[in-house]
Chain A
Amino acid sequence: GENVEQHPSTLSVQEGDSAVIKCTYSDSASNYFPWYKQELGKRPQLIIDIRSNVGEKKDQRIAVTLNKTAKHFSLHITETQPEDSAVYFCAASQDTDKLIFGTGTRLQVFP
Chain B
Amino acid sequence: EAGVAQSPRYKIIEKRQSVAFWCNPISGHATLYWYQQILGQGPKLLIQFQNNGVVDDSQLPKDRFSAERLKGVDSTLKIQPAKLEDSAVYLCASSPLGLAGAAKYFGPGTRLTVT
A96 contact from B41, B44, B101, Cβ within 8 A: B101
User: Once the chains bind, are A93 and B42 in contact (CB under 8 Å)?
Assistant: no
| Stretch of A13-21, A39-47, A58-66 on the interface side | A39-47
| Stretch of B62-70, B76-84, B102-110 on the interface side | B102-110
User: Once the chains bind, are A93 and B106 in contact (CB under 8 Å)?
Assistant: no
A41–B91 Cα distance when bound, in Å, is 12
The SS class assigned to the B binding surface is mixed
User: Once the chains bind, are B91 and A44 in contact (CB under 8 Å)?
Assistant: yes
- A101 CB-CB contact with B under 8 Å: yes
Q: Would A99 and B108 be within 8 Å (CB), given that A46-B103, A104-B40 are in contact?
A: no
* Residues 82-102 of chain A, each 1 if its beta carbon lies under 8 Å from chain B, else 0: 000000010101011011111
Chain B residues with CB under 8 Å of A103's CB are: 41-42
The SS class assigned to the A binding surface is strand
- B24 CB-CB contact with A under 8 Å: no
Chain A residues with CB under 8 Å of B40's CB are: 104
A96–B93 Cα distance when bound, in Å, is 13
A49 contact from B101, B103, B106, Cβ within 8 A: B103
Chain A residues with CB under 8 Å of B108's CB are: 42-43
User: Once the chains bind, are A43 and B109 in contact (CB under 8 Å)?
Assistant: yes
* Residues 85-103 of chain B, each 1 if its beta carbon lies under 8 Å from chain A, else 0: 0000001000101110111
**Further 12 A-B residue pairs, CB within 8 A, beyond A46-B103, A96-B101, A103-B41:** A34-B102, A34-B103, A43-B109, A44-B43, A44-B91, A91-B42, A98-B48, A98-B56, A99-B45, A101-B42, A103-B42, A104-B41
Query: B residues within 8 Å of A by Cβ?
Result: 31, 33, 40-45, 48, 56, 91, 95, 97-99, 101-109
